[in-house]
Amino acid sequence: MKVAKRRIGDKEVFPFTIPSGIITTEVSVLERIAWSVPEIGILTTKSIGPEPRAGNREPILAEYAPHCFVNAVGLTNPGAEEFARRLKSINIPREKFLLVSIFGKDAKEFASVAEVLRPYADGFELNLSCPHAKGYGMQLGQDPVLVKEIVEEVKKVCNKPVFAKLTPNTNNIADIARAAMNGGAYGLTAINTVGPGAFVFDGHYVLTNKVGGLSGRGITPVGIKCVKEIADALGDVPIIGCGGIYTAQDVVSYAKAGASFFGVGSALAGMNVDDMPAYFQNLANDVSAGTNIAEILLKTVDMKYKKFKVGEKISSAQDFHVLKMAEPLEASPGQFVFAWIPGKGEKPFSVMDTHPLTIGFLERGCFTKELAKLSKGDELYFRGPYGNTVSTSRHLVLVGGGSGIAGIYLFAKQNRAQIFVGAKDIAHVPCLDDLENMGDLHVATEDGSAGYKGFVSDLMRENLKVGDCFINCGPRPMLDAVLPIELPYRMRIYSSLDRMTRCGVGICGSCADDEGRRTCKEGPFMPQ
């Protein structure tokens, strides 16, 4: 078998894509992948609905066995109008095929979303298969009559190729495929995740939604079976085969079953932006040459939870707390962990210290309020660490603002540095006595209750000495204020901005910055 460009609509593209909802969920990542991975000819977006949708609370993803995942994102999306604005802001190669995934509760909603996004899409993928969102996806896609109606309505508002994404959770996938083609579909995507299924750890449902779709290695045979049933019934129709594709042998098996394009998703877990181009290049070469080099490039991720007990709680302010566990956790400066309270949710936190594991946090939402209720002896779970550390240097400058001070604490503990911290008052500067013993400390508080009265950026202008490595952690206004002070030094500058980080292993893509770099894989401290 030879990997070569194939026709889709009016374009000739290479036959790989990343399925909807994986990695390329932010347009910045979509754009980055478009330019850096030639073998990905079809750019598939996250599923977009008529209105913004927050989706499910974390945890949204769990690994129930090696390379096997269960997820319940909940169709998180910004809505059609906002997504159209975002698509308008990016630039992708003309030879790529932009396949916009859409959903709705009925044919009318599907058509309305397609109409809004039509100017930016080369084609549409209709999500008729999400297994865990009530009233959407699979609940529509199991009925051939509804599937045909939805395809017909979308075709009325656009003359672009339409792919119906089918669910494996049915006994008549060939009948549903035929209904989609009779409605005017250009092709089919098979399959979406299997299920829903559940993953229980230590007696607790891991996903906040309790159940979710299964993906990864465990569903490869299901995907191949579904593609073959469709191809046997309908003959030569364009099929994007998805589900557990990891190696060249998987691609060949899908091709022999009848697939013409191939979606690679869960296999990319743990890969950074430099890993993916090499993986896809080797995957394509393996298919053509009969080799198996791409398998060596697969990553092993660790999403296992460990139980911890709170050893000490320090509340320096009514809304700011430091939790010291009774147990240690090995981590490097700059890395982060996820704290999980079953039934309440999960959020990432900087590793403030390792012996014992320590986190510092500001009460801001439902989960941190639950976390703040814990006291000595209470149990919770952690997974990680995730992210990368930063190679420090002799003249290190650390800058922390607000809860971001926790993010530079371990750097300060392990490196003698010039330290600048800023907070609204002394109560919001965690472990101040410890920081004073770790380096050349400068404190700014907005109310003047400690150190300099004002902002940390003003304090830096007056007191910054030589620096050849700057590490910043704090809110956007602070980063915007300190970067102009640091840039004239023309040295290494790394900044960590608090972003929505939901999986930690690179799959969900929600933590991407404007350059398509993900906090969990390329960060959290990004070169500036």
Computed from CA positions of residues 520, 522, 525, 528, in that sequence, does the dihedral angle turn out positive or negative? negative
E strands in 84-161:
97-102, 123-127
For 488, other C-beta atoms within 10 Å of its C-beta total 7
Q: Give the pairing of strands 336-341 and 345-350.
A: antiparallel
Catalytic residue among 130, 242, 431, 508: 130
HSE-CB at 485 with a 13 A cutoff on CA atoms is 23
Rounded distance, CA 94 to CA 75, Å?
28
Rounded distance, CA 451 to CA 473, Å?
19
Residue 130 tokens, joined: 């999400």
What one-character DSSP code corresponds to residue 298? P
Residue with tokens 């865990």: 132
HSE-CB at 468 with a 13 A cutoff on CA atoms is 5
Rounded distance, CA 27 to CA 504, Å?
19
C-alpha distances out from residue 378 to 123, 306, 350, 501, Å: 52, 14, 20, 25
Q: For 124, left (φ over 0), alpha (ψ -120 to 50), or beta?
A: beta
Using DSSP, state whether 111 is helix, strand or coil.
helix
C-alpha distances out from residue 484 to 341, 456, 457, Å: 40, 13, 10
Do the beta carbons of residue 110 and residue 140 sit within 8 Å?
Answer: no
Rg (CA), the chain: 25
Rounded distance, CA 396 to CA 393, Å?
6
What one-character DSSP code corresponds to residue 294? G
- Collect all residues with Cβ–Cβ distance below 8 Å to 448 and sequence separation of at least 6: none
Decide if 130 is catalytic.
yes
Rounded distance, CA 22 to CA 510, Å?
10
* Phi and psi angles of residue 181, each rounded to the nearest 5 degrees, phi first: -65, -35
Using DSSP, state whether 270 is helix, strand or coil.
coil
Residue 404 tokens, joined: 């971001």
Which residues are identified as catalytic?
A: 130
